[in-house]
Structure 1
Amino acid sequence: MLAPQAERVMALGEWEQRWQENRTGFHQPTVHKMLEKNIDKVLAGRTGVRIFFPLCGKAVDMKWLADMGHSVVGVEISENGIKQFFEESNLTYSEEPVPAIPGAKVYKSSEKNISLYQCDLYKFSSSIEGQFGAIWDRGSLVAINPGDREKYSSLIRSLMAKDCRYLLDTLLYNPELYNGPPFFVPDEQVHSLFGNSCDIELVDSVDTFEDRHRSWGLDYLTENIFLITPKE
């Protein structure tokens, strides 16, 4: 089933162009229902959790969590996306270079504990911000090039603290009908990417098919939510 999309490659510049042209249909104006529904599983009674958002865009989920007293670190290639996040959240921010990543910048909120790195995700590492107690992956694994998934899972696993609770959102559909992004990620691949070092639990599976997906040529779309935790 992976074959139809295996060779598909999106250059970073294409993502930046989507932001510049406001072709950001993946952005959600409200807190993601799956995050809201499963937030207790992610936090597990903890306060002041450090939460990582890979390919964060301008997700309103970041301010929602920061408002609860958690700290948020995101990585996003688009400067537009990052600036729109702060502006639309009515947050002031500072901008500074990241010595460890040539050309990268970090945008930090003055009022909330939010730091967003504008750089290539694969140049980010635990040496820059340490490890995290939680990760919310909505629109990241499904957005990266399918050929990069091993590299991606190795980065994510390196960012997971021992008590990390990683909430992963994947999409199931017929990849012969649509070439992505967002890309099709089968359950078996989630297990092959993370199963060696982590426990994986399917916590939710929802039919999220809408008319706009019919316009992509699809006939069904299922959203699966996994909770991934490091093995003892």
Structure 2
Amino acid sequence: MDTSSGSTQLKTGSEVIQNRVLSEKDWKDKWEAKNIGFHESNVHEFLSEFVEEMVNTRAQIRIFFPLCGKAVDMKWLADMGHSIVGVDVSEKGLKEFFDEQNIPYVEETVPEIPGAKSSTGNISLYCCNMFDLSSSIIGKFGGIWDRGAMVAINPRDRERYTKLILTLMENDCRYLLVTVVYDPKLVQGPPFYISDTVRESLLGQSCNVKFLKSINTFTDRQKGWGLDYYNDNLYLVTLKSSS
């Protein structure tokens, strides 16, 4: 996430080039105002159906949740015996997760990241800008559940985001990525539309990307944005070096 703010939308013919920027403060304000329509109170349909695509018969793997918020998916996977590491800029969201899931936690400072906090246990959550993290701080992972991170990242930061994710992947990491499909000429986002071409430019050189499923997730919320269709797409991403 960028610390600047503002937004522009450039058009070239029928193509809309998104350059919208949300700051850390914008995201924190969303949590304070409870403007968190992106939060889901149940385990995501994709995760419950395709969890084995990520786990792949392995036990007690480390799973990374970028921009985790208070996702209930974290406890669901932790209850299976996996170790969860999440990150979000919203301290409110992280504390609400532990409170709502009745999980005791201890706050610690993170020496490598001034001002950052982490809550430790089988579920370790970092309160900081995700780009302040690295594999030297949080290690690498056998699984990544990206339900709404890549589509929330400012479009100009996608390449930086992808580079970070790639450095956090163990050789056998299995990364479940959810993107959204809608008419980007009508809505700027977030969540941001990521075309097949953009996804391929970000991941295609280093990773195998397998399409798993698409579901219609259109609701009155998206209708209120001026849309008439909205789908979630799920992909399994693995490093080419592991195949």
Q: Which TM-score tier does this pair reach, normalised by the shorter chain? A: over 0.9
* 30, 33, 36: which one aligns with 2:42: 30
1:120 and 2:132 correspond: no
Partner of 1:15: 27
Q: Using the aligned pairs only, state the percent identity.
A: 52
TM-superposed deviation, 1:5:
5.0
Partner of 1:194: 203
Detail structure 1 runs of 4+ shifted over 6 Å in the superposition: none
- For the 8 Å contact 1:5–1:179, the answer to whether it is kept is no
1:45 and 2:54 correspond: no
- Once the two structures are superposed, the pairs formed by residues 1-232 of structure 1 within 5 Å of their partners are 4-109=16-121, 113-232=122-241
TM-superposed deviation, 1:11:
0.6
**CA–CA separation in structure 1 for the residues paired with 2:159 and 2:94:** 27
TM-score for the superposition, normalised by structure 2: 0.92
TM-superposed deviation, 1:161:
0.3
**CA–CA separation in structure 1 for the residues paired with 2:188 and 2:214:** 22
- For the 8 Å contact 1:5–1:180, the answer to whether it is kept is no
Matched residue pairs, number? 229
TM-superposed deviation, 1:210:
1.5
- AA aligned opposite 1:73: V
TM-superposed deviation, 1:192:
1.1
TM-score for the superposition, normalised by structure 1: 0.96
TM-superposed deviation, 1:43:
0.5
How much is the aligned-residue C-alpha RMSD, in angstroms? 1.3
TM-superposed deviation, 1:213:
0.8
**CA–CA separation in structure 1 for the residues paired with 2:225 and 2:114:** 38
- AA aligned opposite 1:15: W
**CA–CA separation in structure 2 for the residues paired with 1:105 and 1:209:** 36
**CA–CA separation in structure 1 for the residues paired with 2:74 and 2:114:** 25
- For the 8 Å contact 1:76–1:82, the answer to whether it is kept is yes
Query: Unaligned 5+ residue runs, structure 2?
Result: 1-10
Query: Unaligned 5+ residue runs, structure 1?
Result: none
TM-superposed deviation, 1:4:
3.2
